[in-house]
């Protein structure tokens, strides 16, 4: 069956924005988080706190969310409570913003991102699907890099209520743009990206950069020992195509049909 390619959906981090040094980015996040928590009364040692932070972003969303806080901020608030520390709302917001800013110091825009989006603009429907618990920050970053204008729809898990690999975040995006799964490809760098696209019957394209052999640890914080163990696991993912950089997409997407 021949089908016109009408839409190209992208992941954000690890795909359009890339880490200069993923290890350093997470170290910056942890050091800033720990420093502020200590200022606000935390008594734990750095080593103990590091273990407690393992998989922080994979923590279950708090059942009782403060509507004035993002999911990330609510996670920080509940995490502090678990450590017998009650934070003021202003303190929670400072920890959230400062820690994400510290992490983002090691993140850059891929040099191929803007040329690729400009090439696709007015030719294909472009959407962004990202797992992120602090939506306001995503909008500020997209504005900073002048990326907002390229996307017909921006699906941020912290707003949508679903995270990859849940197919619902893809279904919502398809409905907003008015396309069918077989009219779209999705480009991402993580296991969640590939599984999520497959779950939604969208063809997934895995971008596997030579410098990013960290698919299971790139989107969350883990202490050294656990990160090493997770990286050694069998990923078992099934992408439709694999590329090593965004430039590879030019040849792939230059076809106006997908067989």
Give residue-wise pLDDT tens across range 202-229.
999 999 886 544 433 456 666 655 555 5
Considering only residues 214 and 109, tell me which one the structure prediction assigns the higher pLDDT. 109
Q: If pLDDT is split at 50, 70 and 90, which confidence band does 255 have? A: low
The pLDDT of 89-95, averaged and rounded, is 97
Break the chain into its structural domains and give their ranges.
Answer: 3-20+108-258, 23-104
Section 6-20 average pLDDT: 95
Select the highest-mean-pLDDT range: 36-40, 218-222, 241-245.
36-40
Instruction: Check residue 219 and give its pLDDT.
Output: 66
Cβ-based burial of 63 (10 A; exposed 0-12, middle 13-18, buried ≥19): exposed
- Residue percentage of the chain with pLDDT more than 90: 74
Which sign does the torsion angle of CA 193, 194, 197, 198 carry? Answer: negative
Task: Indicate the pTM of the whole model.
Answer: 0.89
Q: Higher-confidence residue: 71 or 252?
A: 71
Selecting from 3.40.50.1000, 3.40.50.720, 3.40.50.10490, 3.40.50.300, what CATH number does the domain 3-20+108-258 have? 3.40.50.1000
pLDDT tens-digit series, residues 135-178: 999 999 999 999 999 999 999 999 999 999 999 999 999 999 99
Binning the chain into helix, strand and coil, the percentages to the nearest 5 are: 45, 15, 40
The DSSP element (H or E) to which 4 belongs, if any, is strand 3-4
Q: Which of 124, 138, 28 has the alpha carbon at shortest distance from 72?
A: 138
As a whole number of angstroms, the distance between CA 164 and CA 59 comes to 14
Say what percent of the chain tops pLDDT 70: 86
The two three-digit tokens of residue 213, written as one number:
């052999």
Q: Which of 24-38, 72-86, 154-168, 235-249 has the lowest mean pLDDT?
A: 235-249
Average pLDDT over residues 94-120: 96
């Amino acid at each position: 069956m021949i089908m016109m390619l009408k839409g190209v959906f992208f992941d954000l981090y690890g795909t359009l924005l890339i880490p200069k040094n993923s290890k350093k980015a997470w170290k910056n996040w942890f050091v800033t988080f720990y420093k502020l928590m200590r200022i606000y009364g935390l008594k734990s040692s750095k080593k103990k706190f590091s273990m407690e932070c393992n998989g922080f972003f994979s923590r279950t969303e708090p059942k009782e969310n403060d509507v004035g806080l993002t999911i990330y901020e609510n996670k920080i608030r509940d995490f502090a409570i678990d450590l017998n520390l009650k934070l003021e709302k202003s303190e929670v917001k400072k920890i959230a913003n400062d820690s994400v800013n510290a992490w983002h110091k090691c993140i850059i825009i891929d040099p191929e991102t803007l040329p690729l989006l400009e090439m696709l603009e007015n030719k294909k429907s472009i959407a962004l699907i990202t797992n992120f618990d602090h939506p306001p920050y995503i909008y500020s970053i997209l504005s900073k890099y002048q990326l907002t204008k390229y996307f017909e729809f921006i699906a941020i898990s912290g707003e949508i209520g679903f995270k990859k690999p849940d197919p619902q975040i893809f279904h919502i995006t398809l409905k907003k743009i008015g396309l069918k799964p077989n009219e779209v490809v999705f480009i991402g760098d993580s296991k969640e990206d590939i599984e999520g696209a497959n779950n939604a019957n969208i063809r997934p394209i895995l971008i596997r950069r030579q410098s990013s052999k960290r698919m299971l640890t790139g989107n969350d914080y883990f202490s050294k020992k656990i990160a090493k163990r997770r990286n050694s696991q069998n990923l078992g993912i099934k992408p439709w195509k694999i590329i090593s950089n965004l430039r590879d997409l030019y040849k792939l997407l230059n076809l106006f049909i997908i067989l």
